Amino acid sequence: MTVVLGISGASGAIYGLRLLEFLRELNVEIHLILTRSGEKTIFLETGKSAAEIRGLANYSYAVEDISCRLASGSYPTDGMVIAPCSIHTMSAIATGISSNLIVRAADVTLKERRKLILMVRESPLHIGHLRNMTLLAEMGAIVAPPIPAFYHKPETVMDIVDHSVTRVLDLLGLPAPNARRWEGVK
């Protein structure tokens, strides 16, 4: 399986990092697009450098490189996730403003009818945000904000993060073997 992973500058860089780690464990071919804001946020929130993050992917692209293979529908991928997805990036995708590679790759993903999953990180939301989310859902994107669940009785912040990440893996059709799932009331 081939997955494009975009990491934007929204808070929640740990979601992108954990998704990279899970995808590597599942032997997925990872094509990474890391925005400049994403680089800064990753460093501020995790202490990891952009080089360390890029080293986890099979391929990495500069956000300005709109001539690379991910900018064309003729290059086959199985889907794309933006984790975390800033409101700026979400809005650009919703309105078709392909000003950089992360937005262009998302646009290609939508036009080719591939899975696009956006882990939108913002709260509270105003009506403009909600309208853009509606536009994206109508275009076929999956808006999947990392909202914690507590039925699995998380003990650490990483338990909460991993639950959101494994839900995204499910959406990609890549169930994580150790995902903690709802089992019903016993």
Q: Find, among 156, 145, 175, the residue nearest to 22 by Cα.
A: 175
- Residue 28: partners with Cβ closer than 8 Å, 6 or more residues away: 1, 2, 3, 174
| Dist. CA 104–CA 10, nearest whole Å | 18
DSSP code at position 96: T
State residue 182's pLDDT score: 82
Q: What is the DSSP letter of 92?
A: H
Q: What is the pTM of this model?
A: 0.96
How confident is the prediction along the chain (186 residues), in pLDDT tens digits per residue?
999 999 999 999 999 999 999 999 999 999 999 999 999 999 999 999 999 999 999 999 999 999 999 999 999 999 999 999 999 999 999 999 989 999 999 999 999 999 999 999 999 999 999 999 999 999 999 999 999 999 989 999 999 999 999 999 999 999 988 888 888 887
Query: CA nearest 159: which of 146, 171, 143, 174?
Result: 146
Assigned token pair, 64? 């300005």
Going from N- to C-terminal start, the domains of the chain cover 2-172
Residue 93 CA to residue 132 CA, distance in Å, equals: 9
Contact 5, 23 (CB under 8 A): yes
The domain 2-172 is placed in CATH, from the list 3.40.50.1950, 3.20.20.80, 3.30.70.360, 3.30.9.10, at: 3.40.50.1950
